[in-house]
Structure 1
Amino acid sequence: MLSQSDIEAFNILGEFCGQRDIPELTATSLQQNYGISQSDVFVLFGGSILYGVDVLAKAIQNKIAKKYIIVGGFGHTTATLQQTVAKQYPDIATSQMQEADIFAALLKKRFNLQVDYLETESTNCGNNITYMLDLLKNEQVNFQSIILAQDATMQKRMSACLKKYVVADVQIINFATYQNQLIIKNQKVSFAKEIPGMWAPERYMKLLMGEIPRLTDDVNGYGPRGKNYISHVNIPKKVQDAYLFLNDKYPEINRPSNNLYSS
């Protein structure tokens, strides 16, 4: 059973990884924070939980961007997504679909909306970004601002990856598809908010623990001093301490990278 201090440490990691740069997807929020009423591009990444579709629908309804894209082929979260959608929507043939296709089908079925482009070949955070950039270039979509919506556990890494490939004056705006906190309820680890498609607490904790080593800019991380997949990320001491505290107590929770989806 996790202690209250364990829960607090996990929530520190969750708050750090699940970055939102604006409080809501509205023109007012963009105007107040960035001086623009509309972003050039809005991207939903397929690694998100199902609630990402709700976030995308809200973005389209609020006309938050000029172009909308869903990015995602087959990665480490795809099988879970396929199974979850198949249970709730058996008429969607998920077994033969990539992540972007599944989210597009849900967007159409639930909200009768569609996006401008789908990218269905990428398998990991790195080529999520590079293939997306190739698509935008091929479609001659120039952008000075872009909103990224990814699963909260991977939002920080996705942003750092894009930052590696675009010029400094491109405005990257983070909007994690959810923000949630772990709590102890009826002597069980649970979530403060009920969010459709939310990971099981154990999976969520594992995903968070896997992110901090990846974001750490050392020889083992994904930053310039390591594998050079992403730009440098500053990790506050509070976050480092929370990770080290948890890793010392629960080393088995860490999620190693999966070479099956590398490129």
Structure 2
Amino acid sequence: MKETLADDLNLLSAFCGVRDLTDLSQNALYQKYQLKKADAFVLFGGSILSGIDVLITAMNNQVATNYLIVGGQGHTTNALRLKINQFYPQIPTKNASEAQMFNAILQLKTGKTADYLEEKSTNSGNNITNLLQLLETHELKKDGLILCQDATMQRRMAATCSKFAPNTTIINYASYKVKVMEKDNQLHFDRKLLGMWEMDQYITLLLGEISRLQNTPSGYGPAGKNFIAPVFIPQDVLAAFYRVAKLFPNKVRTANPAYAKSLEN
């Protein structure tokens, strides 16, 4: 059976948006990792707005000892500001970091705040290096970390963490799961999520991720820019990527040099 565009996008999404737990609970954590709690649950600011509800679930279910929000200003920040202006107009966004804005939503919804914020990072690489520095500065354990990023960027975030903290148990929990459906020759998401990307941007993000995850001279793996640990991309995922990229040759997002700071910063 010939794969449809929706099938290909859902295959890319399932690959990028890893969830290592069946649900965000102490029971699921113990069943798979024999951990009563992770050392930290980390929400990254590249996520859509509904990511805050995953953080709230994590806090309510006490899946970690500490709760952190990581994110300065990067390629998704302006999109986040626009969505916050739309859905939470009482929250100031001008010059605010992603971590500040998500923390303000958390406080608005629950009266609680994250234990720690990281506000200087501009890309996935220093999201991780700055996170690790923050954990070290505050003498917080990092044996087991639950990472929660936008579903399009989750696998790369984990691969970055694997490079810089190879002895840490990384537990993926992408901030949402969504499927693309085709109806009347139009692409739609199967459910509504607060702050979800427009379909064009979603396709751009997925294509950009697969191109980055490849361990090739142009990718982010050791054979290329060496930003991430090597990632194995299954053949069917690569085939789907090439089919979608052929349909949307202008949507294979390249890195914005404005946010490409050294990982040592």
TM range (shorter): over 0.9
Other-structure match for 2:222: 224
Pairwise CA distance, 1:188 = 2.0
Equivalent residues in 2 for 1:121-140, closer than 5 Å: 121-140=120-139
Contact 1:71 1:120 (8 Å CA) reproduced: yes
Q: Which moved more, 1:42-51 or 1:89-98?
A: 89-98
Contact 2:8 2:240 (8 Å CA) reproduced: yes
Cα separation, partners in 2 of 1:4 and 1:242, compared to 1, 3 Å: closer
Other-structure match for 2:119: 120
Other-structure match for 1:198: 196
Q: Which amino acid in the other structure matches residue 137 of structure 1? A: E
Equivalent residues in 2 for 1:62-101, closer than 5 Å: 62-101=61-100
Q: Which amino acid in the other structure matches residue 6 of structure 1? A: L
Contact 2:181 2:189 (8 Å CA) reproduced: yes
Pairwise CA distance, 1:185 = 3.0
Structure 2 gaps, min length 5: none
Q: Which amino acid in the other structure matches residue 12 of structure 2? A: L
Contact 1:18 1:151 (8 Å CA) reproduced: yes
Q: Which moved more, 1:149-158 or 1:81-90?
A: 81-90
SS of the residue aligned with 2:208? Answer: helix
Q: Deviations over 1:64-105 (max 9, x none)?
A: 100111000000000111111012222111112110000000
SS of the residue aligned with 2:147? Answer: strand
User: What is the distance in 1 between the residues matched to 2:142 and 2:245?
Assistant: 40
Other-structure match for 1:174: 172
Pairwise CA distance, 1:4 = 6.5
Contact 1:57 1:113 (8 Å CA) reproduced: no
Other-structure match for 1:144: 143
Contact 1:70 1:115 (8 Å CA) reproduced: yes
SS of the residue aligned with 1:183? Answer: strand
SS of the residue aligned with 1:95? Answer: coil
User: What is the distance in 2 between the residues matched to 1:141 and 1:80?
Assistant: 32
2:235 to 234, 237, 258: 237
User: What is the distance in 1 between the residues matched to 2:237 and 2:23?
Assistant: 25
User: What is the distance in 1 between the residues matched to 2:243 and 2:151?
Assistant: 21
User: What is the distance in 2 between the residues matched to 1:219 and 1:4?
Assistant: 29
Q: Which amino acid in the other structure matches residue 121 of structure 1? A: K
Pairwise CA distance, 1:115 = 1.1
Other-structure match for 2:206: 208
Other-structure match for 1:252: 250
User: What is the distance in 2 between the residues matched to 1:187 and 1:224?
Assistant: 40
Other-structure match for 1:161: 160
Q: Which moved more, 1:196-205 or 1:149-158?
A: 196-205
Other-structure match for 2:42: 43
Q: Which amino acid in the other structure matches residue 41 of structure 1? A: A
Q: Which amino acid in the other structure matches residue 70 of structure 2? A: V
User: What is the distance in 2 between the residues matched to 1:224 and 1:94?
Assistant: 37
Other-structure match for 1:19: 18
Contact 2:211 2:252 (8 Å CA) reproduced: no
Q: Which amino acid in the other structure matches residue 116 of structure 1? A: D
User: What is the distance in 2 between the residues matched to 1:90 and 1:159?
Assistant: 32
Contact 1:86 1:92 (8 Å CA) reproduced: yes
Q: Which amino acid in the other structure matches residue 166 of structure 2? A: V
User: What is the distance in 2 between the residues matched to 1:62 and 1:152?
Assistant: 21
Pairwise CA distance, 1:186 = 4.4
Q: Deviations over 1:146-189 (max 9, x none)?
A: 00000000000000000001133x21000000011111234421
The percentage of counterpart residues that share the same residue type is 42
User: What is the distance in 2 between the residues matched to 1:192 and 1:256?
Assistant: 28
Structure 1 gaps, min length 5: none
- Would you identify which runs of 4 or more consecutive aligned residues in structure 1 move more than 6 Å? none
Contact 1:26 1:62 (8 Å CA) reproduced: yes
